[in-house]
Amino acid sequence: MGIIVFLSFFNLPAIKSIYSIPYWDKIIHLCMYGALSGILWWEFLRNHKNSNFSLLHVWIGAIICPIVFSGVVELLQKYCTTYRGGDLLDFVANIMGVILGSLTSYYVIRPWMYKH
C-alpha cells in the first residue's frame, strides 16, 4: 500500500515515452490494485490454509477495503493536492484491477495452494 500511496500523491517526473501508450495510466491503476488484491488474497489463504474459514473475511479484506481505499485516494487527489486530480476512470480501473486480482486469486492461486 505504501507504493500506491507514494505513486498517488508524489509529483513524479514525467517519462515521455510512456505517454505514447494509450491509457497507460489506467493500465498502471489496474495493475497496482490487481496486485494489491492478489497479495491480500495470498496472505489470507496462506494464513488460513489448514482451517475451516469463511470467505466473507477475505471478500471484505481483499475486495471491499482496496475499493474503498482507492476511492479515498482519488478524492484526496482531487481535493487535497494541486498537482493531481481525482479521476472517475482511474477509480473504475482500480475496481477492475481488484476484480481481476480477486478472480485470479480465487480461481488460480486458491486451488494451487490447496494442492500444495
The residues, ordered by sequence, that sit 6+ positions from 114 with a Cβ below 8 Å of its Cβ are 49
Q: Is 0.75 surpassed by the pTM of this model?
A: yes
What residues does each domain of the chain span?
24-115
pLDDT, tens digit, 9 for 90 and up, residues 68-90: 999 999 999 999 988 878 899 99
Rounded to 5 degrees, what angle do the CA atoms 64, 67, 73 make? 140
Check whether 12 has a pLDDT greater than 70: no
Over residues 13-26, the mean pLDDT reads 75
